[in-house]
Structure 1
Amino acid sequence: MPAASAEDGAPHTVSPMRLVLGEAQFDRMFPDRDPFFTYQGLLDATRSYPGFAHTGSLLVRRQEAAAFLANVSHETGALVYKVNQNPASYPVFCDDTQPFGCPAGRDAYYGRGAIMLSWNFNYKAAGDALGLDLLNDPWLVERDPAVAWATALWYWNTQTGPGTMTGHDAIVHHEGFGETIRSLNGTAECDGGNPDQMRHRVTLYRQYTRILHTLPGPGQTC
């Protein structure tokens, strides 16, 4: 993956993520993860989004790392699953209304990676942002750990989804963890949509903030 420059124009020599999350802490969060999801892959991916876990106070930076990884954990069964486990649903994720179609096949755009990137239009947009041809080779997300993390960071940092702000903005602007849930699943979990799923994310977030020695802050639910 091409490395992005830092916000001040200088290239990163140390990933900002390493400053708030050590490998031992990562291992505590995900003791049974698939070996595919490497700590180094996460560090490599953060170079594409240098503001991630590197904006605001140390408390906020740690909150963002915890919030991102709590949602990742919920989406992937604590990094056990790197792809959608329901093959029967795979053809659903080809949107025929898109002008670029589904060149990799109608069943090729199922969920993959740390936030389960899905739909042909998301593969196209994420690939364009990262300088990768994910529309024609979506399988790269399940072959390359850095890409699996980078597509998740693309969504976290740039997409509001069914919410009103990105996950990154929700934390750095002090709107709370609950708004990160809304950006991923909207009323499917928030506003009473599925309180058990929402609570599971919140439980993980609180657990990870303890591991990172920070406070969870207000606005944890949605």
Structure 2
Amino acid sequence: MRSRRAPLLIAAVVAALLTPAAAAAAAPAPAAQAVVASCSAAAWSGSAVYVGGNQVTHGGAAWRAKWWTQGETPGTTGPWGVWERTGTCDGGEPPIDPPGTEDFPVSQAQFNQFFPHRNSFYTYSGLVDALSAYPGFANSGSETIQKREAAAFLANVSHETGGLVHVVEQNTANYPHYCDTSQPYGCPAGHDQYYGKGPIQLSWNYNYKAAGDALGIDLLNNPRLVQTDSAIAWKTGLWYWNTQNGPGTMTAHAAIVNDRGFGETIRSINGSIECNGGNPAQVQSRIDTYLRFTSALGVDPGGNLRC
């Protein structure tokens, strides 16, 4: 291996030939004054606008903006990005991926970047805890397929919840309409308790019964668990994604793993309303989010994006 250290003789000759003026010119410029961490700065806000030099606190650390920014989460922009970490506050550290997520294509930092305004209910740890219910999810096929599935799932749940903002259905007038009284088990929690909840807005008493049976959780009698327990909420989303065809002809999981395209995942979730020209704006919204997520994950989105 060639040494990176110059021979001593050459170094001596160069030093002898270097005049005082040249030496002064060659001397390194004084280092720029280090930015002092400001742990008293206001907490970062995804809706605020920051300019170069502004300081914030986030994730137990102090950060300085290098230039204008809005909606970019400190700790997710990388060493060449807009946010410069200037110190640790109160012993905090940036998010560390929980154990067992090494094979999940989306890191905690990426998750935070995907959903800068998310409701605190939708935790990354809750999603990680839910993965054990369906180990084939985002873990089947090539690395490309795995990244596409993670992006497709998160894009669809982002659309369903307004960017993981809404935990429950917003139209309360619909709440009494989700009880199918023809089912032998009825609606023991109350006729108005089976409204949309969670990342894919699980609704109807028969879906709570089926999801609960599959997951080993009594959701028929305790439907509110989907809006109070993050891991259970994520599990119901994965239950639908991995096991239900919905209005489509295959599960969303099968659509990605079998390379049928993102459009088929839309059909499986809300195809009866959005597909075949039903609501092209909603379809485009889902596609735009999917393309943004696949780009962030560095993976080609594949074909058949529409339904």
Which interval holds the TM-score relative to the shorter structure?
Answer: over 0.9
Q: More relative contact order in 1 or in 2 (CA 8 Å, sep 6+)?
A: 1
- Relative to the length of structure 1, the TM-score reads 0.93
Aligned length: 209
Partner in structure 2 of residue 217 of structure 1 = 302
Q: How does 1:1-222 map to 2 (within 5 A)?
A: 14-15=100-101, 19-222=104-307
Q: Is there any run of 5+ residues in structure 1 with no aligned partner, and where?
A: 1-12
- Relative to the length of structure 2, the TM-score reads 0.67
1:173-218, Cα deviation, whole Å (9 max, x unpaired): 0000000000011131010000000000000000000111111000
CA contact (8 A) 1:33 1:78 kept: yes
The amino acid across from 1:38 in the alignment is T
The amino acid across from 1:14 in the alignment is G
Q: Which has the higher helix share?
A: 1
Q: Identity of counterpart residues, as a percentage?
A: 59
Partner in structure 2 of residue 10 of structure 1 = none
CA distance in 1, matches of 2:158, 2:169: 14
1:92-136, Cα deviation, whole Å (9 max, x unpaired): 100011110000000000000010000000000000001000000
CA RMSD of aligned residues (A): 0.9
Partner in structure 1 of residue 59 of structure 2 = none
Q: Is there any run of 5+ residues in structure 2 with no aligned partner, and where?
A: 1-98
If you compute each CA radius of gyration, which structure gives the higher value, 1 or 2?
A: 2
Q: Which has the higher strand share?
A: 2
* Structure 1 segments of 4+ aligned residues over 2 angstroms from their partners: none
